[in-house]
Structure 1
Amino acid sequence: MRVLLFLFLLLTWIFIFPDRWTLSAQPPPIDSLLHALQLHPQRDTVRVKLLNQLGRAYFTKDAVMAALYAQEAWHLGDSLQYTEGLIWATRNLALVENTKGNLDKQMDLTMNALQLAERSGQLRATGILYNDIGNIFIEQEHPEQALPYLKRSLLIKQRLHEQAESAKTLNNIGSTYMQLRKLDSALLYLRESEKLKLALHDERGLGFTYENMGLIYELQGQYAASLHYLEESLRYYTASDNLPGTGKAHLNLGKVNTLLKRYAAAATHLQKAAGINASQQNAKNEMIYYLYLARLDSSRQDYTAALQHYNQYMELKDQFFAVEKARIINNTREKYESEKKQRENQLLKKEQQTNLSTIRQQRVLVAVCSLLLLILFVITLLLYRLYRRQQELSQQLNSRNEEVSLQNRIILEQNTTLENLNQVKDKIFSVISHDLRSPLSILEGMLFLLRDRKIPAEQFRQYTDELWRDMKNTAYMMDNLLNWASSQMKGIRVKADDFEITEVFNREFELLQSLSRQKEVQLSHQLLRPVLVYADPEMIRVVLRNLINNAIKFTPAGKGIHISGQVSGAFLEICIRDEGIGIPEKDQHKVFSNIYYSTSGTQNEKGCGLGLPLSKDFVERNQGRIWFRSQPGQGTSFYFTVPLAEEEALTDTQIRGYANVQMD
């Protein structure tokens, strides 16, 4: 009887005061909500409200569970055509996207919920959603766009006497003024928010307000006051079991303790933030963690660790940039496709209306003409003329349909071309934003430390060989990228001619000697007397350079690389054999494919995955073929053939007059 009485009272409260739990300083316990949901299996509006309350309660504790309850609430609300339930379910889904850092997707979902709220005249929901939109603009660092939405939200909440919600919006307006660097105005709104939240015993909300106040005092250089309020924010976040807020509080405390030279406390807070980041998988917070850790190491004069953590920060920043770029591209593409479909639907509707109108007119004409046929012969002649006119219109319509079909085919061909060019563009941007930026970021970090005299010049010289090798690999990578882009965009042509391949090989061999000597790899070759081949010398040079450079990249110090060649029929066959790490069997099919397979070398040399596919393309363009044999742990041998010139004598299949050269 007690259980039934509890369930009755709980459901009565939800039904009479929908969504009032969000007004109170402390939300109802999750256990109570779960118990009520178990006792109410009926698929009705009451269940939708319980699901939405559970989704909101799980938001700061378990984003996965919050998403599951929000999705169930949305589907059930949609099937019941329950607008109020759809609004709060959509808002909960938007909040889940915020925990993942997907601000664009959060904005789309929040706008959808706002449209439903405004159409259905739900003023309270409209005020809350205006506040959410302002929050998104704050996180996107667009405070000037956030302020109008937040002030509209505050007016609505004050009109409805919603003290708890007003406290939230006052806090957010303070955050906006903080981003605008109007710190006095920010503190004014935050003090008002603090008063309301203290009166309501809103532990969860006080965590946000004290965090903002701590950040403002940090901007003003009052680090002791900042430390006090940030510690208060950590206390309230922990008390309200707000895991994302706790992670941010530890990051902020790590930064302020570093500024106060309390290095042990700073390290402790940053370590705790790292543990929370691992569970939350928030890429932005993880990036900030390595930046603050690098500053802490630099303050402790541990410049090696500072450089390492700064490089990790730059790498995460590049990854975050790439993810954000991909997300923007996908969102833009989705919006474009949606708008395109809407335009097509509108055109189809207009065409259908026109056709229906034409059909109605024709039916009327046929009926009138049928009646008049009984009266006048003249009307029959007029009908005949109308019929002929209709035939002409039909022919014109068919002709226009053919023209439209032809235009559609042309558009499809143009779309295919644009998609191919987009793939080339995306690959170029990917290589430039990741593979080419990483060596420059490392060089930037080293020069930063050298410029500020945080690293001795003698220690900097120890890194020059490694920096030189990275920049050399980057230069080769750029050459491959440009050649590949020209090839993909049909901007490269084969200029075949008779030439001595040994001269081309010797020039490339001399250029790569310094690279192999840097890595302590033994590079040797056994080639024939000068041999004339018929091919594009520049393409063959790129193939030789890519294959030899690739062998150096995957051969550890102390091992060797051997190049040999022999005449086989009407072709010259060249082999580059290394004693490197080999290619795993599961990845061998990717080597010459368009997957752009790339791994780091034995000394973490970077690559863009274009060298081998480009070499295959160039060899096949010159009527040759390329293949390889590899055993993991024992080495790899790459082979390719080049057609011989007509003047070349093919009396002996084995190349004679060779020379041995070994570089240690």
Structure 2
Amino acid sequence: MLPANPLRKCLLLPLYLLLLSPGSRAQTPVSDSFAVALVQHPQKDNARVDILNSASRSYFTRDASIAEKYAKEALNISEQLGYTNGRIWAQRNLALVENTRGHLDKQMQLTLSSLKLAEALNEQHTLSILYNDMGNIFTEQNSPRDALPFLHKSLVIKRKLQEAPEISKTLNNIGSAYLALHILDSSLIYLHQAEQLKLALNDQRGLAYTYENLGLVAMLEHRLQDALHYHQLSASCYLSADNQLGIVKSNLNLAEVQTFMGNFPAAEKNLRKAYEINRVLKNVKNEMIYYKIRYELDSARKDYLAAFNNYKAFTERNMAYFNLEKSRQISRSQEKYEAEKKQRENILLKKEQQIHLATIQQQRVLVLSAALLFVILLIITFILYRMYKRQQELTRALNSKNQEVSLQNHIILEQNTTLESLNQVKDKIFSVISHDLRSPLAILEGLLFLLRDEKIDAAQFRFYADELWRDVKNTAYMMDNMLQWASNQMKGIGVKADDFDLTLLLNQEFELLQTLAKQKEVTLQHEIPGAVMVYADPEMIRMVLRNLINNAIKFTPGGGRITVSARIDRTFAEVIVKDNGTGIPLENQHRIFSNIYYSTTGTRNEKGCGLGLHLSKDFVERNQGRIWFHSTPGSGSSFSFTVPLSEDSDSNNRGYTIIVQDRGSSGMSVLNQ
């Protein structure tokens, strides 16, 4: 039996993408030959730098500490000699070492530094590799759309230079980016091109990454037997290349596929292998994925207590990683602000010194004029005139400085306003966590405590399980809304519009929402034409649909009905979510889409954070649509919103009702350096 809730695996796919890091592996004899070459060439010159960089490259997937030592020595010698090319490759090797440790921000800084030096030299081979690295980093940071321009630029250069091994790597990485975007047909095109080229080159090390990606595509398409076959091929290639990071990933992949296929002993064995190797590598992202898959395995084996503990361990590590990244961003922002403030202070001090020097010079002129007063009266008159002109210039300079100071004060006030806004966002988050999230967690903790101490039996626990599951899912939706709102407030959310099928997107969300409706004995169905192609940001529209349907479930009592329908206009699709629930009181209707914090409990005391409808309005309007509602207290509500049709839309006017069936889904992406 597979673990429940396959939709959660789709939502956790970006965590797999975080795990996927570039890597290459030289065989042990090659690494030993570099060590011998370094002993035979102790002179600190360009040749030693090249040997050190090659040695670092050969070690980074097997022993990151040795690779780091060689790269740092190469960087130090390159800076002493002014050897720019050596400095580029040393920094690139240090970036790869940081990748094996999961430090993507440090990898990005080092890669950008190398890229600036390479662009100054205009060395095409080096540029193609660094563009490839930049694309890989963006894919690992769950920004595959930002990765594709760098990867395609790298592919153009490599094809121009006819570098077949490098072309195969970039083809694999483009396929990996499309895999992260769930554009599976495009992903398979590039992955099969990479596979054919690597087979022709007999590149067993490179085939490991491509086979792993093909396995991930097979998992997303629910072809578990094919996925197992590709991951076994990938594991064999990683093992032959002695790629420790790749061995960990292949064991994790095999464990998850075997869990889905019900082969629990094999899954347990592969998880143990991954855990033992990662204890040496200390890769925090590998550790997160380990606990996530172990949770799935324990759930499939119905060991729910162990599953709970492992899911808790996964959640703690995920939150720790999230908080660490946020702390690094805040620290970098503070350092930048302090540096700019110091620079402004230095400029002001320099200008004050210039004014003081001018004043001293003026005083000297006055003393000299007084001494010559009795000698030549005309000279004194001329000097006084020059002093007058000088005074006018000083006055103009002082006025100009006052204007600059006023401008600086204005900038500081704007920065203070921004900081106050961020504090308000923080207070809002803490308020929601302290008031709305503690309750369901406390109930869960209490029930688990009673179950653990055998104060209630399993039958009694199952009596509360459905209601507890619904509360936890409502809490999860509330957390999604809060995080989206906080992200929107702190750094803004850019619209990434694309053509997509609105009906397909609704089907993806409908399964879990229908389960929530069944828990309340509410009928939930949708009646929409077969395919509605629209042009908008699919993730934003997904959040809008989820909020509107979840709100309808929340305020519809048992026995009620919720219907999702659509109407096609010339340029827009109008989506309607209608229920026969409690409706909205007239005195509160003006607060629904406002910035005012407004939240009420549902028919079964479901809670919300008061951000869902405000966030939905913002997302709809960002995608050139509008949202409105009609509600009658006691009779129900109808929420409607519009979204632009795709220019290539070929709507099907035949309506039908779809009941979503359970099906598993999982996947991730891997990069190839």
Query: Which TM-score applies when normalising by structure 1?
Result: 0.56
The residue that corresponds to 1:96 in the other structure is 97
Q: Distance in 1 between matches of 2:213 and 2:121?
A: 35
**Matching of residue 80 in structure 1 with residue 74 in structure 2:** no
Q: Contact 1:322–1:433 at 8 Å: present in 2 too? A: no
Give the stretch that moved more between structures: 281-290 or 148-157: 281-290
The structure, 1 or 2, with the larger RCO (C-alpha pairs under 8 Å, 6+ apart) is: 2
Partner of 2:255: 254
Counterpart Cα distance in 1 of 2:249 and 2:297: 17
Q: Deviations 1:373-422 (Å, cap 9, x if unpaired)?
A: 99x96464232222245457668978999999999999999999999999
Give per-residue Cα distances to partners, 1:152-198, cap 9 Å, x unaligned. 00111111111111111010001011112121221111111112222
Q: Secondary structure at the match of 1:29?
A: helix
Structure 2: distance between partners of 1:68 and 1:282: 19
8 Å contact from structure 2 (residues 25, 62) kept in 1: no
Query: CA distance change for structure 1 residues 434 and 96 in 2, over 3 Å: closer, same or farther?
Result: farther
- 8 Å contact from structure 2 (residues 24, 61) kept in 1: no
Q: Aligned pair in 2 of structure 1 residues 420, 138: CA closer, same or farther (>3 Å)? A: closer
- SS of the counterpart of 2:311? helix
- What RMSD in Å do the two structures reach over aligned CA positions? 5.1
Match of 2:192 in 1: 191
Write the distance in 2 (CA, Å) between the matches of 1:435 and 1:48: 59
Deviation at 1:462, TM superposition (A): 11
Task: Determine helix, strand or coil for the equivalent of 1:60.
Answer: coil
CA distance in 1, matches of 2:183, 2:273: 32
Partner of 2:244: 243
Conserved? CA contact 2:27–2:242, under 8 Å: no
1:359-508 equivalences in 2 (<5 Å): 378=378, 380-390=380-390, 458=459, 460=461
Residue pair 1:97, 1:106 contacting (<8 A) in 2 also: yes
Letter of the structure 1 residue corresponding to residue 198 of structure 2: K
Residues 115-160 of structure 1, C-alpha deviation per residue, up to 9 Å, x if partnerless?
A: 1000111111111010001001111111111111000001111111
Per the alignment, residue 158 of structure 1 pairs with 159
Shift of 1:458: 3.8
Number of the residue aligned with 1:134: 135
Q: Which residue of 1 aligns with 2:183?
A: 182
Paired with 1:390 and 1:408, the residues of 2 have a C-alpha distance of: 27
Structure 1 CA distance, aligned partners of 2:321 and 2:434? 11
Aligned-pair distance for 1:424?
Answer: 12
Deviations 1:330-373 (A, max 9, x none): 23333444555566678889999999999999999x99xxxxx9
Contact persistence 1:23–1:162 (CA under 8 A): no
Contact 1:253 1:269 in 2 (8 A): yes
CA 1:385–1:116 in 2, change beyond 3 Å: closer, same or farther? same
User: Counterpart of 1:192 in structure 2: which amino acid?
Assistant: Q
Checking the alignment, whether the CA contact within 8 Å between 2:25 and 2:205 is kept in structure 1 is no
Distance 1:397 1:153, change over 3 A: closer
Identity %: 45
User: Does the C-alpha gap of structure 1 residues 411 and 124 become closer, same or farther in structure 2, counting only changes over 3 Å?
Assistant: closer
Q: Which has the larger radius of gyration?
A: 1
Aligned to 2:293: 292
**Equivalent-residue separation in structure 2 for 1:243 and 1:435 (angstroms):** 45
**Which amino acid counterpart does residue 218 of structure 2 have in structure 1?**
Y
Amino acid in the other structure paired with 2:277: I
Question: 2:337 aligned with 1:332, yes or no?
Answer: no
Deviation at 1:200, TM superposition (A): 2.5
Q: Residue 595 of structure 2 aligns with which residue?
A: none
CA contact (8 A) 2:172 2:190 kept: yes
In 2, are the aligned partners of 1:114 and 1:129 still within 8 Å (CA)?
A: yes
Q: Does 1:310 align with 2:318?
A: no
Structure 2: how far apart are the matches of 1:282 and 1:187?
29
Distance 1:62 1:24, change over 3 A: closer
Given that residues 311 and 441 in structure 1 are in contact (C-alpha distance below 8 angstroms), is that contact kept between their aligned partners in structure 2? no
Partner Cα distance (2:29, 2:346) in 1: 46
Runs of 4+ in 1 over 3 A off after TM superposition: 22-28, 334-364, 376-380, 388-448, 455-459, 461-464
Which residue in the other structure is 1:266 paired with? Answer: 267
Distance 1:117 1:53 in 2: 18
Per the normalisation by structure 2, the TM-score is 0.55
In structure 2, what is the Cα distance between the partners aligned to 1:108 and 1:82?
20
1:123/1:64 Cα in 2 relative to 1: closer, same or farther (>3 Å)? same
What SS is found at the alignment partner of 1:241?
A: coil
CA contact (8 A) 2:212 2:230 kept: yes
Structure-1 separation of matches of 2:438 and 2:403: 52
Matching residue of 2:513: none
State whether residues 257 and 265 of structure 1, in contact with CA within 8 Å, keep that contact through their aligned partners in structure 2: yes
In structure 2, relative to structure 1, the CA distance for the partners of 1:443 and 1:117 (3 Å cut) is farther
Give 1:41's aligned residue: 42
Q: What does residue 659 of structure 1 align with?
A: none
> Any idea what the Cα deviations from partners look like across 1:622-652, whole Å, max 9, x if unmatched?
xxxxxxxxxxxxxxxxxxxxxxxxxxxxxxx
Shift of 1:319: 1.7
Distance in 2, matches of 1:45 and 1:427, equals 56
Tell me, yes or no, if the aligned pair for 1:73 and 1:89 is still in contact at 8 Å. Answer: yes
Distance 2:94 2:234 in 1: 26
Q: Tell me: CA distance 1:398–1:191, structure 2 relative to 1, closer, same or farther (3 Å).
A: closer
Q: CA deviation at 1:314?
A: 1.7
Distance 1:130 1:438 in 2: 46
1:218 Cα offset (Å): 0.5
- 2:229 is matched with which residue? 228
Counterpart Cα distance in 1 of 2:25 and 2:307:
46
Q: Is the Cα contact below 8 Å between 2:72 and 2:94 reproduced in 1?
A: yes
Distance 2:354 2:184 in 1: 59
The whole-number CA distance in structure 1 between the counterparts of 2:115 and 2:264 is 46
- Report the counterpart of residue 201 of structure 2 in structure 1: 200
Change (3 A) 1:166 1:399: closer
Q: 2: CA distance between counterparts of 1:107 and 1:294? A: 32
User: In 2, Cα distance between the equivalents of 1:399 and 1:200?
Assistant: 72
Count residues with an aligned counterpart.
439
Query: What displacement does 1:442 show?
Result: 7.4
TM superposition shift of 1:323:
1.5
Q: How far apart are residue 312 of structure 1 and its match?
A: 1.7
Judge conservation of contact 1:25–1:200 (CA < 8 Å) in 2. Answer: no
AA aligned to 1:268 is K
* Change over 3 Å in CA distance of 1:461–1:152 after alignment to 2: closer
User: 1:298·1:306 contact (CA, 8 Å) conserved in 2?
Assistant: yes
Q: Is the 8 A contact 2:24 2:243 kept in 1?
A: no
Can you give the 5+ residue segments of structure 1 that lack an aligned partner in the other structure?
Answer: 1-21, 368-372, 468-664
2:200 counterpart SS class: helix
**Cα deviation code 1:291-332 (max 9, x no counterpart):** 111111111111121122112222222222222221222233
Which residue of structure 2 lines up, in the alignment, with residue 282 of structure 1?
283
Q: Would the alpha carbon gap of residues 416 and 154 (structure 1) be closer, same or farther in structure 2, given more than 3 Å must change? A: closer
The aligned residue for residue 171 of structure 2 is 170
| SS of residue in 1 equivalent to 2:41 | coil
Aligned residue identity for 1:206: L
Three-state SS of the structure 1 residue aligned to 2:251 is: helix
Paired residue for 1:53?
54
Separation of aligned partners in 1, 2:120 and 2:281: 36
Q: Shift of residue 204 of structure 1?
A: 2.0
- 1:406/1:166 Cα in 2 relative to 1: closer, same or farther (>3 Å)? closer
Q: Is the 8 A contact 1:25 1:197 kept in 2?
A: no
| Offset of residue 39 of structure 1 | 1.5
